[in-house]
Amino acid sequence: MRIQSIGLFMVVATSAVSISAQAQSLNIDYGFPETVPPQSYGAAAHQPGLWNNLLGADDPSGLKDIQGNSTAVQIVADLPFGLAYTDHPGTTGGDEALLDDYLDLHDTPSAFNIVGLIPGKYSVYTYAWAPDIDQFRTLVTVGHNTQSIGGVWNGTLEQGTTYAKHTITIANDQPLSIRTFGLGAGTLNGFQIVAKRQDLSITLARPLPAMVDPQVQAAVDVIIDEHQDHMVGQAKMYARIRGHRHFTQQHLVQVDGTLWRSLLPEASCGDVIEFYFEARGNQGGLQTLPYKPEQNLLSVNVCGVECIGICDVVDSASPQPHSNPDPTIPMSTSSIGPDASN
């Protein structure tokens, strides 16, 4: 039996090609383009990075994360609020850029639904301070927790005066709903959405090749990072030949540190091997690679010099997968259905 290695044995975490699903962190400022906070400004969340500048309550085009990457996250508001501006004499720098321009919510109950967030745990900072009149208050509600925001500026951002802070877990396809109500007049300066660190993360050790040879168990290496006190409790790969209903389950073998290995099943010329990974922490929590494998599996084509006339053979000058440095690593497999829970 021949074995190919798709993941390089010597790859370390700092060079991993990450395609794992990570919860998103975003900064959002309601105001005029010339007064957007600088990327060095972290506000109360201590989260520097790109600030999305919104001129109205909605954002139909999609937001960018703090690194400037496009996301599928959008804000959908139930009312079309407009911008207002007050030059408060006490605010300066990033605080001034964030707080002195804002959405004028009047005294109307409203809801801001942030849709498209990747499931995960988030801290949500809602800036709702009125720079014009100290007596104005804005009630900010997330879930069943309501906080009253407003008061005299004392030179720094304070929870209860300039912002509300909530912690929430977002499930699949669940919006983050932030409800507001103005007492006197409501104000919304912006949001910070801060992703809580995941228990585990899975990444490929290197990109997958376009194809593997027939009748070969190709080795695929992944990197599983353990965070805080959450260690890997169980790591598996699920694989099948395209067109088959059932997956084969295989326990990953820890090669070294964060590097784990699995073997793809042998397949014939023209086959496509579909597969995904999952890792469970020893304190619970499940991470998969790719995110939502039921919608988007990893795959490689099976083709080689033996397959002429059946599939397109890779050019001999193209880089080939490396040999497995340790073909004696044991692999245990068992056949399971797609609805298996173990």
pLDDT digit string, tens, across residues 214-227:
999 999 999 988 76
Q: How confident is the model at residue 197 (pLDDT cuts 50, 70, 90)?
A: low
pLDDT in tens, 127-142: 999 999 999 999 999 9
Token pair 């321009």 in the structure block, residue: 101
- Number of residues written out for the chain: 342
The answer to whether residue 313 scores a pLDDT higher than 70 is no
Q: Where in the chain is the domain with CATH 2.60.120?
A: 26-195
What DSSP string runs through 80-133?
Answer: --EEEE---SS--HHHHHHHSEEEEEET--EEEEEE-PPSEEEEEEEE---SS-
Residue 48 C-alpha from the chain's centroid: 18
Q: 102, 85, 76, 246: which is closest to 186 by C-alpha?
A: 102
- Domain formed by 26-195, architecture: Sandwich (2.60)
Residues of the chain with pLDDT > 90: what percent? 60
pTM equals 0.56
What DSSP string runs through 260-308?
Answer: EEEEPPP--TT-EEEEEEEEEEBTB-EEEESSSTTT--EEEEE--GGGB
Task: Find all residues with CB under 8 Å of 235, minimum gap 6, and list them.
Answer: 224, 251, 252, 254, 260, 277, 278, 279, 280
pLDDT in tens, 7-47: 432 222 223 333 334 568 999 999 999 999 999 999 999 99
| CB-based contact 277:224 (threshold 8 Å) | no
Q: 71, 77, 26, 40: which is closest to 55 by C-alpha?
A: 77
Q: How confident is the model at residue 106 (pLDDT cuts 50, 70, 90)?
A: confident
**Number of Cβ within a 10 Å radius of residue 145:** 12
Query: Does the domain made of 2-19+199-336 have the CATH classification 3.30.1490.20?
Result: no
The region that residue 54 occupies, defined by phi over 0 for left and psi between -120 and 50 for alpha, beta otherwise, is: beta
pLDDT given for residue 60 in this prediction = 65
Based on DSSP, count helices (H) and strands (E) in the chain, helices before strands. Answer: 1, 26
Token pair 């609805």 in the structure block, residue: 339
Q: How far apart are CA 99 and CA 321, in angstroms?
A: 55
Token pair 């004392």 in the structure block, residue: 154
Q: Where in the chain is the domain with CATH 2.60.40.650?
A: 2-19+199-336
Largest CA distance in the chain: 80
What number is the average pLDDT over the span 249-266?
A: 93
